[in-house]
Structure 1
């Protein structure tokens, strides 16, 4: 099961708010349909409103059913939209030469990850991703730096992309996730030195326009896909937000293979 910070902090009163909105919508949407009966003198506005009111009080489950139906339709529409974006942006998503690649670069299934080095759920996923790669010789990983948690995260993302220019992205990526504290600018520089990077060169490369351009592209792509938090995964033509366990991840990868 996927878990995100947003889901964990979702207001408890949202269901009540939706029910109230649904009740209001019932009256608004029904107004056009009831006019013929009112015009014909069969029933007054007040009487019809009272009947609707009484029916909803007697059968409140209809609001829940309506909201469930609306939610299902929205999910279906979103899934269709995502598939279209994945199809039209496949090169940016799966074959962008400026995005670091892990696992088997020629693998038969690709897992795209949008992440932030200061995201606790991303950090939780790091060893699971390592296990997935170790257990699946045909798994290809595309890393999308998506720093959304402040300036420290942006600095870390730029440093990681600069490390890729030195051929040390994988080692640096793993070292950043190995940090037990927030990845600050000072921590990034120390981790880079410990990982054997040329820190001065890294600092220079971090200022290159292509580094910021990569982050901007990833941000725009995430928005197009509806990814608003981290981690966010794309497998085949589907999006899976949040952290998960290894068994679920393996299942998703196998499903993607069968859909090819």
Structure 2
């Protein structure tokens, strides 16, 4: 009985659940005995702490996932159909994957070959690229340059080259990469000053904020928000689930 009481009290304390109302009627000696019972039990069974923390984390993760689903539904048009965003894969695909990324993000670079393979293996997949520079001034310059390259019809080539680049990504390196894919850098620099580009990036940041996205890469597939670099099999399963859950384009 003493063991069961200790286990129950420990679970209540660790998970933040309310103690019985009658607990307030215990005298000081009884309270001290209860504290000692719980302490002794936790010393003998430290795994209870780990299990309780894991259970609490699971509940928090589930709550965040549910909240994200609601936000994704409310923001679906901005996520999937913002005409300013660039699209890879099939522009008329039946499933859309959205990626928030940063050109200086190592995990984004790591994820790109996987994303390329996914696009290659699924001719019905549409991929929306959300420029989301969060890793400093160089990231912002790279995103502004990438979006400015749209006017020269070179975004896809420039995007691929920026993602594949190694080392620091300063202004000179960005222009060198641009020149390497056939971009007129004088025109590019002028186009980068367009406030519409700054507004587009600001809107992406605001959208990410509503979805509690604070890292890159972050993917949205169907009603799922998936943070971090994800392996190919997982992405395929998520796309298949989204395809099975929706009728028509999603």
Q: What band does the TM-score fall into relative to the shorter chain?
A: 0.7 to 0.9
- Residue 230 in structure 1 maps to residue 216 in structure 2: yes
What TM-score does the superposition give when structure 2 sets the normalisation length? 0.86
Alignment partner of 1:208 out of 178, 194, 212: 194
Question: What residue is the counterpart of 2:110 in the other structure?
Answer: 124
Question: What residue is the counterpart of 2:152 in the other structure?
Answer: 166
Alignment partner of 2:237 out of 247, 251, 255: 251
Unaligned runs of 5+ in 1: 1-21
- Residue 34 in structure 1 maps to residue 23 in structure 2: yes
| 2:15–2:56 Cα contact (<8 Å) kept | no
Unaligned runs of 5+ in 2: 1-10
In 1: Cα distance, 2:166 partner to 2:214 partner: 25
Alignment partner of 2:175 out of 151, 165, 189: 189
| 2:14–2:53 Cα contact (<8 Å) kept | no
Question: What residue is the counterpart of 1:157 in the other structure?
Answer: 143
Say if 1:236 and 1:28 are closer, same or farther in 2 by CA, change over 3 A.
closer
Tell me, what secondary structure is at the counterpart of 2:59? helix
| 2:14–2:49 Cα contact (<8 Å) kept | no
- Residue 114 in structure 1 maps to residue 100 in structure 2: yes
**Post-superposition offset of 1:254:** 1.0
Paired positions, count? 236
Q: Which has the higher contact order (CA 8 A, sep 6+)?
A: 1
Per mean C-alpha deviation after superposition, the further-off stretch among 140-149 and 177-186 is 177-186
Say if 1:148 and 1:220 are closer, same or farther in 2 by CA, change over 3 A.
same
Question: What residue is the counterpart of 1:19 in the other structure?
Answer: none
